[in-house]
């Protein structure tokens, strides 16, 4: 037996595969295509740790299987080398970013090569290569030169918009070019604007929302480096991604992505359907509010403006307390600048005294407040406050003592006493009194004589009485107890629907709970007639809180008595206290009330337009020119790429100006000085792999048509709101403009789990816990590393690295090696005619069965990215092989084929040893024989009363009665069934028998 020298064979085959171009992808091909893509890395200076290749190994195993299954597999790799990480590294190490990137790519490639991936390296892309970013710039120009046609619901060239203006707008032609351009800028999908941005002074650049994280004190810091971030108003380039918000949301449904990534994108897009409603005010200026709960319009008790509301000035100057308000606004802005949105911040606000808003639904005058719990950037920057049905308004109203009005109530139907057909529904407002005697710890109830009812005191509200008055009156009338202390109203009313036999109607009762405490047991005279219907009964606290009573609202009152405060009722329900809208559901009322007040239903999104500019050197130049008059012009396609100038000083200026603004040759030409953000180059790289060398287009139409989209995309879930959203956006744009054939770029997405250090922390230089894959490859071999990383646990789960456990994977490969040295020409019973061979060598029959089970298992598991169980089943097979005397060459080779994706080097070496002349990685994927998977006999469990008491062996197709009979004669089973009457027999085919005695 020759030695297993992993270094030797791994180097040998890596060289051979490269020389023979084993992984070269045909383009085009008659074979069916399959595109397996890894998220390409930032080639950071630190190099790879063992966590990085996890995803690459998974996708490589998958790609290798697909290739063996006869697909033309596109499995490329490249580098995303623009952007902050590369540039920070360069600045820290005082070398030019281009040099740093070159060096890092080399390190990176060296590390990758050792692991034995099946990439077609001839297709490598590098975002910093001018031949690549020429096309990034080209796509930018297409976006800049387009607008979103809301009627066609897709992007169109801006020239179509100009034509439209020329036709429909008489004034258009009179405008100067600059004026026209100003208007067009409001439509372009890439546009220039001023806005508050997240400015990071330390990095000297603007950051996108998803590049900012909270530090442990809740302050915003840059994801990279952890530097403080503040707000700053600056000139920026933007991408109008919000135009695509709805399509980005709805198209998620058709994607085979893990649920939580879709969820994150859904949240990020943040769609909400609501209404815009206008409130007139006592000054000559209306307030437009956005609300999702127009059904609560009757419950509005005040209106709130954001301190940064666009018209705040006009309200301010007319307020009687102008100084106070203006001071509040100043403070609020100060707070916003620091952006320390600390958790559970107490709400603050100030009333605009002397100004009233008029509720359009009922003409009611309500106060107007300014408060910074209302965001200027969402909706209309103003809200109608309904403290009874909104948690934030509730909190605010409580603090400033603003009134509450209930307009929505939960509706319950009394199932014991449901409304009856043929009876009229009669609505009544009622009060229900909970009376507590603190001395005896008892509650007041009524025991009804005629109906077997047991309830608390309740009754209708009469005339102009308040709820509390009505409740008190009822208690006195019905029980005589008059010394009552009002404690509180038990939250929003509750609607109950039931049949009232004594009145001959179906009752719709809108009840409000009122809590009283009994001050003394003093009683006044009772109304005799009424009192004859029931007895007064005091029940213990325990009974009151546990026993159901006739009035079904009781659980609500109990719930709301528990805490000192109760939550506002924020769910949908049935409308009350709203005139003609009463008894509608919230859903119906939202539309009807909006319509009634002349508002309109609108859809809003949380997502903002994406900032598309960085004040940094190391990025794609934006291919635009500014002339002296301020007009912007696009570079012509033939002048692309606009190359980054070679400079010696590329550090950030710190003023907010890009380093390029200091380059004379650059500014002289009027070139835009901002560069593109890191996500530009990564938003379309997967398309370039399809045709990486093309000089005439980002990719040839034929190549695009053949490869279409990515079938399997593997990468980290941290890109959920960045790369994965931006790519979808660009792809949809390119689709609208006819440049790509599909509206979505990535059909299936798998997210690999992170590999943590053995101490449970992230691997990082900082903690000194980094494991370098080079070391593992050197000691154990690439095949062992690959098998181990796939065997560790589920692909999508994170696990700590455990060098101790690797040995198991190594032993597995060594066992394969050992078994290989024992194979012989033993003839295998594998053809279908021998599906049920009557072999003397039972051991061998069993092995062949295991082999075919394993083929199926490995096949299915790889398809599902369940690599750990695939390996586990191969271990079972190899353990069995190790024990049998005869192993046929054919069967062993079949096994090598399913092992090949995981351990490509060993499999190839043994494959050639067995006389093959062509790479195993181009051999066809083995098929399993279904007939061999069927067992003749089965061992099944016999349970008595659900407990396993014995095991019997039965023919696979045995009849149920035969199985029962067989089971009953089993010794162990007899012990439990003898002398017992068998009440029930259950047979689960091929699984178990259960006797119930």
Q: Check residue 628 and report its DSSP letter.
A: T
Looking only at residues 881 through 910 of this chain, which bind RNA when binding is defined by CB under 7 A?
Answer: 882-883
Q: Which of 419, 808, 890, 964 binds RNA (CB under 7 A)?
A: 808
Give the shortest CB-462-to-RNA separation in angstroms: 35
Give the shortest CB-729-to-RNA separation in angstroms: 17
Q: Which of 693, 947, 969, 978 binds RNA (CB under 7 A)?
A: 947
Q: Which of 297, 374, 770, 963 binds RNA (CB under 7 A)?
A: 374
Q: Which of 422, 563, 946, 979 binds RNA (CB under 7 A)?
A: 946
**How far, rounded to the nearest angstrom, does the alpha carbon of residue 591 sit from its chain's CA centroid?**
30
Strand 146-149 versus strand 154-157 pairing type = antiparallel
Looking only at residues 67 through 96 of this chain, which bind RNA when binding is defined by CB under 7 A?
Answer: none
Q: Which of 233, 802, 956, 980 binds RNA (CB under 7 A)?
A: 802
Helices (H), 503-580: 528-531, 541-546, 554-562
Helix (H) or strand (E) holding 191: strand 190-200
Give the shortest CB-290-to-RNA separation in angstroms: 5
Strand 230-239 versus strand 190-200 pairing type = antiparallel
Give the shortest CB-280-to-RNA separation in angstroms: 19
Question: Residue 85: CB partners within 8 Å, gap ≥ 6?
Answer: 42, 44, 224
Looking only at residues 116 through 135 of this chain, which bind RNA when binding is defined by CB under 7 A?
Answer: none
Using the rule CB under 7 A, is 379 a contact of RNA? Answer: yes
Residue closer to RNA (CB basis): 274 or 641: 274
Three-state helix/strand/coil letters over 852-907: HHHHHHHHHHHHCCCHHHHHHHHHHHHHHHHHCCCCEHHHHHHHHHHHCCCCHHHH
**How far, rounded to the nearest angstrom, does the alpha carbon of residue 408 sit from its chain's CA centroid?**
32
Looking only at residues 565 through 604 of this chain, which bind RNA when binding is defined by CB under 7 A?
Answer: 604
Give the shortest CB-373-to-RNA separation in angstroms: 4
- CA 486 – CA 439 distance, rounded (Å): 16
Question: Residue 193: CB partners within 8 Å, gap ≥ 6?
Answer: 185, 235, 236, 238
Helix (H) or strand (E) holding 719: none
Cα separations in angstroms, 949 against 101, 602, 962, 963, 992: 68, 66, 18, 15, 11
Q: Which of 195, 286, 292, 321 binds RNA (CB under 7 A)?
A: 292
Only one of the segments 376-384, 635-643, 668-676, 691-699 lies at the binding site for RNA (rule: CB under 7 A); that segment is 376-384
Using the rule CB under 7 A, is 392 a contact of RNA? Answer: yes
Give the shortest CB-553-to-RNA separation in angstroms: 20
Give the shortest CB-20-to-RNA separation in angstroms: 33
Give the shortest CB-448-to-RNA separation in angstroms: 31
Give the shortest CB-335-to-RNA separation in angstroms: 8
- C-alpha triplet 632, 657, 213: angle, nearest 5°: 110
Only one of the segments 265-273, 576-584, 625-633, 648-656 lies at the binding site for RNA (rule: CB under 7 A); that segment is 265-273
Looking only at residues 29 through 68 of this chain, which bind RNA when binding is defined by CB under 7 A?
Answer: none
Can you name the residues that pair with 435 across neighbouring β-strands? 516
b/e per residue, 882-910, with b = 16+ CB within 10 A?
Answer: eebebbbbebbbbbbbbbbbbbbbbbbbb
Residue closer to RNA (CB basis): 151 or 334: 334
Question: Residue 526: CB partners within 8 Å, gap ≥ 6?
Answer: 477, 478, 479, 480
Only one of the segments 129-137, 379-387, 729-737, 820-828 lies at the binding site for RNA (rule: CB under 7 A); that segment is 379-387
Looking only at residues 533 through 562 of this chain, which bind RNA when binding is defined by CB under 7 A?
Answer: none
Q: Which of 941, 964, 968, 974 binds RNA (CB under 7 A)?
A: 941
- C-alpha triplet 672, 676, 678: angle, nearest 5°: 165
- CA 195 – CA 905 distance, rounded (Å): 56
Give the shortest CB-132-to-RNA separation in angstroms: 30
868 — alpha (psi -120 to 50), left (phi > 0) or beta? Answer: alpha
Give the shortest CB-272-to-RNA separation in angstroms: 3
Number of residues that bind RNA (CB under 7 A): 79
Q: Contacts from 420-426 at CB under 8 Å and sequence distance 24+?
A: 420/499, 420/506, 423/499, 423/504, 423/505, 423/506, 424/505, 424/506, 425/497, 425/505, 425/506, 425/507, 425/508, 426/503, 426/505, 426/506, 426/507, 426/508
Only one of the segments 102-110, 149-157, 256-264, 467-475 lies at the binding site for RNA (rule: CB under 7 A); that segment is 256-264
Q: What is the largest CA-CA distance in the chain?
A: 111
Give the shortest CB-559-to-RNA separation in angstroms: 11
Using the rule CB under 7 A, is 306 a contact of RNA? Answer: yes
Sheet holding 984-988, edge to edge: 947-955, 937-944, 992-996, 984-988
Looking only at residues 168 through 227 of this chain, which bind RNA when binding is defined by CB under 7 A?
Answer: 210
Q: Which of 939, 969, 971, 978 binds RNA (CB under 7 A)?
A: 939
Give the shortest CB-730-to-RNA separation in angstroms: 21
Only one of the segments 144-152, 266-274, 736-744, 768-776 lies at the binding site for RNA (rule: CB under 7 A); that segment is 266-274
- CA 520 – CA 437 distance, rounded (Å): 8
Looking only at residues 268 through 287 of this chain, which bind RNA when binding is defined by CB under 7 A?
Answer: 268, 270, 272, 274
Q: Check residue 406 and report its DSSP letter.
A: -
Give the shortest CB-300-to-RNA separation in angstroms: 10
Residue closer to RNA (CB basis): 357 or 446: 357
Q: Which of 945, 956, 960, 980 binds RNA (CB under 7 A)?
A: 945
Residue closer to RNA (CB basis): 701 or 811: 811
Looking only at residues 468 through 507 of this chain, which bind RNA when binding is defined by CB under 7 A?
Answer: none
Q: Nearest Cα to 347, choosing from 295, 390, 404?
A: 390
Residue closer to RNA (CB basis): 159 or 764: 764
Cβ atoms of 30 and 884 within 8 Å: the answer is no
Can you name the residues that pair with 536 across neighbouring β-strands? 446
Residue closer to RNA (CB basis): 21 or 883: 883
For residue 987, is the peptide bond before it cis, meaning its omega torsion is within 30 degrees of 0? no
Looking only at residues 335 through 364 of this chain, which bind RNA when binding is defined by CB under 7 A?
Answer: 341, 343, 345, 347
Q: Nearest Cα to 507, choosing from 625, 443, 414?
A: 414
Q: Fill in the per-residue mask, 966 to 995: x = in contact with RNA (CB under 7 A), - = not in contact.
A: ------x--x--------x-x-x--xx-x-
- C-alpha triplet 674, 185, 629: angle, nearest 5°: 70
Q: Which of 2, 163, 260, 836 binds RNA (CB under 7 A)?
A: 260
CB neighbourhood size of 613 (10 A): 24
Give the shortest CB-195-to-RNA separation in angstroms: 15
Give the shortest CB-871-to-RNA separation in angstroms: 7
Only one of the segments 356-364, 624-632, 706-714, 874-882 lies at the binding site for RNA (rule: CB under 7 A); that segment is 874-882
Only one of the segments 73-81, 367-375, 485-493, 695-703 lies at the binding site for RNA (rule: CB under 7 A); that segment is 367-375
Cβ atoms of 672 and 164 within 8 Å: the answer is no
Give the shortest CB-534-to-RNA separation in angstroms: 33
Q: Nearest Cα to 349, choosing from 318, 385, 380, 317?
A: 385
Residue closer to RNA (CB basis): 444 or 757: 757
Using the rule CB under 7 A, is 606 a contact of RNA? Answer: yes
Using the rule CB under 7 A, is 809 a contact of RNA? Answer: yes
Give the shortest CB-359-to-RNA separation in angstroms: 15
How buried is residue 716: exposed, middle or buried, by Cβ count under 10 Å (0-12/13-18/19+)? middle
Q: Which of 16, 178, 323, 375 binds RNA (CB under 7 A)?
A: 375
Tokens representing residue 604 in the block = 């809003």
Q: Which of 7, 250, 267, 824 binds RNA (CB under 7 A)?
A: 267
Looking only at residues 717 through 776 of this chain, which bind RNA when binding is defined by CB under 7 A?
Answer: 717-718, 721
């Amino acid at each position: 037996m020759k030695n297993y020298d992993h270094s030797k064979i791994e180097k040998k085959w890596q060289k051979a595969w490269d020389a023979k171009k084993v992984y070269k992808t045909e383009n085009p091909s008659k074979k069916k295509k399959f595109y397996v893509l890894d998220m390409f890395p930032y080639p950071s200076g630190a190099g790879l740790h063992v966590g990085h290749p996890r995803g690459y190994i998974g996708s490589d195993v998958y790609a290798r299987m697909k290739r063996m299954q006869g697909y033309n597999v596109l499995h490329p790799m490249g580098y995303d080398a623009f952007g902050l990480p590369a540039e920070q590294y360069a600045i820290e190490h005082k070398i030019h970013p281009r040099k740093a990137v070159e060096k890092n790519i080399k390190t990176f490639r060296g590390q990758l090569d050792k692991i034995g991936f099946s990439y077609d390296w001839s297709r490598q892309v590098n975002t910093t290569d001018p031949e690549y970013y020429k096309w990034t710039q080209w796509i930018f120009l297409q976006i800049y030169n387009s607008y979103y046609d809301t009627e066609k619901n897709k992007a169109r060239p801006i020239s179509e918009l100009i034509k439209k203006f020329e036709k429909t707008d008489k004034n258009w032609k009179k405008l100067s070019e600059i004026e026209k351009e100003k208007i067009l800028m409001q439509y372009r999908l890439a546009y220039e604007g001023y806005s508050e941005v997240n400015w990071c002074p330390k990095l000297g650049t603007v950051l996108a929302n998803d590049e900012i994280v909270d530090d442990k004190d809740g302050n915003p810091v840059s994801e990279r480096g952890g530097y403080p971030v503040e707000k700053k108003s600056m000139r920026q380039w933007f991408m109008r991604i919000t135009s695509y918000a709805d399509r980005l949301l709805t198209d998620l449904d058709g994607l085979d992505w893990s649920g939580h990534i879709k969820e994150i994108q859904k949240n990020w897009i943040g769609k909400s359907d609501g209404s815009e409603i206008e409130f007139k005010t006592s000054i000559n200026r209306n307030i437009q509010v956005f609300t999702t709960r127009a059904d609560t319009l009757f419950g509005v008790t005040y209106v709130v403006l954001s301190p940064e509301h666009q018209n705040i000035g006009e309200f301010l100057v007319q307020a009687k307390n102008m100084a106070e308000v203006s001071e509040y606004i100043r403070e609020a802005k100060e707070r916003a600048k620091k952006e320390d949105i600390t958790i559970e911040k107490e709400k603050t606000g100030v009333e605009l005294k002397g100004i009233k808003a008029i509720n359009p639904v009922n003409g009611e005058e309500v106060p107007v407040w300014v408060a910074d719990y209302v965001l200027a950037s969402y909706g209309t920057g103003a809200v109608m406050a309904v403290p009874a049905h909104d948690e934030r308004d509730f909190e605010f109203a409580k603090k400033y003592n603003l009134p509450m009005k209930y307009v929505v109530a939960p509706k319950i139907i009394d199932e014991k006493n449901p409304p009856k057909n043929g009876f009229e529904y009669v609505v009544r407002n009622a009060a229900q009194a909970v009376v507590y005697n603190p001395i005896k710890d008892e509650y007041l109830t009524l025991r009804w004589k005629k109906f077997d009812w047991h309830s608390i005191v309740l009754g209708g509200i009469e005339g102009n009485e308040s709820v509390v008055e009505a409740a008190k009156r009822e208690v006195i009338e019905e029980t005589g107890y008059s010394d009552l202390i009002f404690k509180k109203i038990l939250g929003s009313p509750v609607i109950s629907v039931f049949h009232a036999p004594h009145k001959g109607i179906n009752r719709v009762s809108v009840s409000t709970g009122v809590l009283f405490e009994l001050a003394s047991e003093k009683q006044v005279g009772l109304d005799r007639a009424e009192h004859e219907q029931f007895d007064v009964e005091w029940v213990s606290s325990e009974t009151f809180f546990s026993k159901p009573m006739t009035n079904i609202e009781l659980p609500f009152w109990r719930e709301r008595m528990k805490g000192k405060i109760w939550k506002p009722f924020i769910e949908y329900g049935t409308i009350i206290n709203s005139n003609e809208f009463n008894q509608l559901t919230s859903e119906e009322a939202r539309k009807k009330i909006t319509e009634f007040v002349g508002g309109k239903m609108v859809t809003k999104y949380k997502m903002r337009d994406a900032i598309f500019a960085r004040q940094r050197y190391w990025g794609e130049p934006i291919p635009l020119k500014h002339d002296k008059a301020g007009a912007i012009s696009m570079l012509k396609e033939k002048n692309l790429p606009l190359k980054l100038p070679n400079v010696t000083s590329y550090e950030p200026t710190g003023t907010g100006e890009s380093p390029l603004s200091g380059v004379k040759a650059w500014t002289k030409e009027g070139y835009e000085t901002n560069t593109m953000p890191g996500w530009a180059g990564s938003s379309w790289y997967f398309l370039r792999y399809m045709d990486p060398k093309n000089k005439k287009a980002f990719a040839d139409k034929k190549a695009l048509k053949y490869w279409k989209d990515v079938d399997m995309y593997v990468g980290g879930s941290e890109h959920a709101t960045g790369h994965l959203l931006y790519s979808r956006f660009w792809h949809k744009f390119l689709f609208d403009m006819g440049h790509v054939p599909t509206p979505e770029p990535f059909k299936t997405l798998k997210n690999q789990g992170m590999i943590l250090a053995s101490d449970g922390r992230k691997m990082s230089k900082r903690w000194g816990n980094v494991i370098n894959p080079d070391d593992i490859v050197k000691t154990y071999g690439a095949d062992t590393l690959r098998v181990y990383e796939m065997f560790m646990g589920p692909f999508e789960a994170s696990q700590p690295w455990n060098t101790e456990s690797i040995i198991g994977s190594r032993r597995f490969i060594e066992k394969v090696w050992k078994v290989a040295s024992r194979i012989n020409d033993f003839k295998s019973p594998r053809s279908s005619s021998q599906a049920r061979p009557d072999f003397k060598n039972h051991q061998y029959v069993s092995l062949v069965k295991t082999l075919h089970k394993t083929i199926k298992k490995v096949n299915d598991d790889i398809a599902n990215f369940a690599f750990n169980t695939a390996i586990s089943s191969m271990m079972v097979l190899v353990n069995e092989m190790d024990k049998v005397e005869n192993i046929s060459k054919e069967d062993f080779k079949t096994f090598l084929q399913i092992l090949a994706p995981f351990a490509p080097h060993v499999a190839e070496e043994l494959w050639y040893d067995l006389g093959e002349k062509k790479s195993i990685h181009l051999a066809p994927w083995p098929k399993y024989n279904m007939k061999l998977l069927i067992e003749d006999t089965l061992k099944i469990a016999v349970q008595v009363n659900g407990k396993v008491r014995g095991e019997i062996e039965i023919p696979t197709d045995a009849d149920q009665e035969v199985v029962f009979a067989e089971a009953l004669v089993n010794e162990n089973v007899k012990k439990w069934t003898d002398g017992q009457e068998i009440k029930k027999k259950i047979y689960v085919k091929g699984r178990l028998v259960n006797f119930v005695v």
